[in-house]
Amino acid sequence: MITSPSFYRTIHKQDKNKAKKVNRLIRHFIKRHTVKLVVCTAVFFLLFTSFLLMGTYASSNTPEAASAEEQIIRVQSGDTLWNIAKQISDGSHDIRYIVYLIKDRNDLQSTVIKPGQKLIIPSI
């Protein structure tokens, strides 16, 4: 079994040429797609910040003024949302639901209320 050294060199040279060609194609691919990636990231960033700004300007911490059907109460020392909800409950609704309505109507983040605070009680 005689093998020719030239045959081995021929394959090896082709592999080097292929490797160079593949490396060139990979570099070209990365350059081409890097630009796309940068542009997509910039567009995403602009859209995200614009939606964030819209949400910031749209939200407010003060609720709308009370309508004719709603009443305004001033929180006394020792009052809780649960007690207030119990006082205005007519028995047809769950008190937890009434607490939720009061929190939602007054844009409260928690059930903590302070004496002197005004609460709008929605009509049930």
pTM above 0.85, yes or no: no
Q: Is the pLDDT of residue 12 over 60?
A: no
The predicted-structure confidence for 78-96, as pLDDT tens digits, reads as follows: 999 999 999 988 888 899 9
Alpha-carbon dihedral 106, 109, 111, 117, rounded to 10 degrees: -50
How buried is 102 (Cβ within 10 angstroms: 0-12 exposed, 13-18 middle, 19+ buried)?
A: buried
Three-state DSSP class for 73? strand
Structural domain boundaries of the chain? Answer: 1-59, 71-121
| CATH, domain 71-121, list 3.40.50.720, 3.10.350.10, 3.40.50.300, 3.20.20.70 | 3.10.350.10
